[in-house]
Structure 1
Amino acid sequence: MSYSNSSMGSGSRTARRTIEFGRTYVVKPKGKHQATIVWLHGLGDNGSSWAQLLENLPLPNIKWICPTAPTRPVGILGGFPCTAWFEVGELSEDGPDDFEGLDASAAHVANLLSTEPADIKLGIGGFSMGAAIALYSATCFAQGKYGNGYPYPVYLRAIIGLRGWLPCARSVRNKIEGSHEAARRAASLPILLSHGQCDEVVPHNYGERSYHALSLAGFRNIAFKTYEGIGHYTVPKEMDEVCNWLNPRLGL
């Protein structure tokens, strides 16, 4: 069983099933290519909608890769099938984590980044469930491996999570503190989290708790921004701040 052999078209192969990912959309840089960021959509969405938004950001030196999640039955929707990066039965710290789905999606993202040129800076961002995969990828990068123990293959320079939460938050601190190298990687990785105060889908306190869990685990280069009066959507001011945050951290 190896997630590292998954491809853009065929999905990630596991011992139990083959996970088929949807179409990947690419926004080419308008200027000199200096960084590549994989951006992950939320539950029920696809890569196309975010590709259209990201194309209009004033970040000409970034290539954006916007994959589409597999279509699967989702417990939180009563088993209704839709695009989802992993299975989620409920938004609860006590609920079980879908490690197979998390690892498969994190591996799919890493594989998309692994073919970029060696001098290109790499990052992951996402919205809602996509942000959850971005944050899970951050913990895999710090540990140097996925939850299943297979090596994590790429070096990340930036993580962005909008309206998201941290899967496996209960165990991340012990996993990072147990390794000097993991602690060093965690401390060096810039992370931007933002949440709407009035988010009715992923409550604001989930974002806060994720921020505190990551901070306690040793992710020291982390910022958390709250947007008053904003729900489960992004606003232009927020995307402007994402741009302003990314530029110095990627040396653009």
Structure 2
Amino acid sequence: MSSRSSSESSGGRTTRRTFEFGRTHVVRPKGQHQATIVWLHGLGDKGSSWSQLLETLPLPNIKWICPTAPTRPVALFGGFPCTAWFDVGEISEDASVDLEGLDASAAHVANLLSTEPADIKLGVGGFSMGAATSLYSATCRVLGQYGNGNPYPINLSAIVGLSGWLPCSRTLTNRMGRSHEAARRAASLPILLCHGIGDDVVAYRLGERSAQTLSSAGFRNLTFRTYNGLGHYTIPEETNEVCNWLTASLGLGGSRS
């Protein structure tokens, strides 16, 4: 188990929550190690669920790190505890944002990537709430800091989000507009977003609006793929898209077909 504490101060009073992250599963590269990607599961899931799938992909040059989110009360489920990267009451653009939880999870991801060799390309991806956390990590990267103002330390080279949404979408454009460096980073960061039109958990329109918000904020290297009839799950057509996109975006060699 690993843990990270974060605190939030208001009016001279400090509240502190400690987040206990679950087991991390690692899929070692079968070929030359060229990239490391942290892959984040969805709400109520665990890292092992995705590590088993990722191990089957024809991407022998990627090391996958699949952490498990903390178990915490989730407002969406009436306070019932389950694994979650951050608290959420509703999945919509108008939902209140658990910035403390997002920062803690983004920092956990950055910490997992911080010990990788200097010549290895780094990325973050995920499904549903994991995709939301990966997109939040992308905004931290381009802005150079977490939501709490602490510096973000990792140079990300690829972001993948399946069936997800963008947290903090309302404030992103304004924050981006105040920094030329953020705009430069955003323009060069490759992002792949995939969403099923039949998704009844994270509505397709929310995924589409998230892609539009990112594009408007300056993320020029963004690909948005849609799938007719796809619900809130993944299919081989989608994972093939991810494999092809990662191979091209990261310049990977020696992939098996």
Q: Normalization by structure 1: what TM-score?
A: 0.96
Q: What per-residue deviation string (whole Å, max 9, x for no partner) do you get for residues 147-202 of structure 1?
A: 00000001000000000000000000111111010000000000000000000100
Matched residue count = 244
- Give secondary structure in 1 for the equivalent of 2:32: coil
- Corresponding position of 1:212: 212
For residues 83 and 58 of structure 1, the distance between their equivalents in structure 2, rounded to whole angstroms, comes to: 29
For residues 10 and 235 of structure 1, the distance between their equivalents in structure 2, rounded to whole angstroms, comes to: 32
User: Deviating runs (4+, > 2 A) in structure 1?
Assistant: none
Tell me whether 1:184 sits opposite 2:169 in the alignment: no
- Corresponding position of 1:200: 200
Q: 1:50 Cα deviation (Å)? A: 0.1
Tell me whether 1:136 sits opposite 2:127 in the alignment: no
- Corresponding position of 1:159: 159
Q: 1:92 Cα deviation (Å)? A: 2.3
- Corresponding position of 2:224: 224
- Identity over aligned pairs, percent: 73
Q: 1:143 Cα deviation (Å)? A: 0.2
Q: 1:96 Cα deviation (Å)? A: 1.1
- Corresponding position of 1:14: 6
Once structures 1 and 2 are overlaid, which stretch shifts more, 20-29 or 71-80?
71-80
- Give secondary structure in 2 for the equivalent of 1:244: helix
- Give secondary structure in 2 for the equivalent of 1:89: coil
- Corresponding position of 1:150: 150
- Give secondary structure in 2 for the equivalent of 1:187: helix
For residues 150 and 79 of structure 1, the distance between their equivalents in structure 2, rounded to whole angstroms, comes to: 29
Q: What per-residue deviation string (whole Å, max 9, x for no partner) do you get for residues 227-251 of structure 1?
A: 0001000001110110000001111
Q: 1:10 Cα deviation (Å)? A: 2.6
- Give secondary structure in 1 for the equivalent of 2:89: coil
Q: Normalization by structure 2: what TM-score?
A: 0.94
For residues 133 and 6 of structure 2, the distance between their equivalents in structure 1, rounded to whole angstroms, comes to: 18
For residues 177 and 193 of structure 1, the distance between their equivalents in structure 2, rounded to whole angstroms, comes to: 23
- Give secondary structure in 2 for the equivalent of 1:182: helix
User: Is the strand fraction higher in 1 or 2?
Assistant: 2
Gaps of 5+ in 2: 8-15, 253-257
Gaps of 5+ in 1: 1-8
Specify the code of the residue in structure 2 equivalent to 1:245: W
Alignment RMSD (CA, Å): 0.6
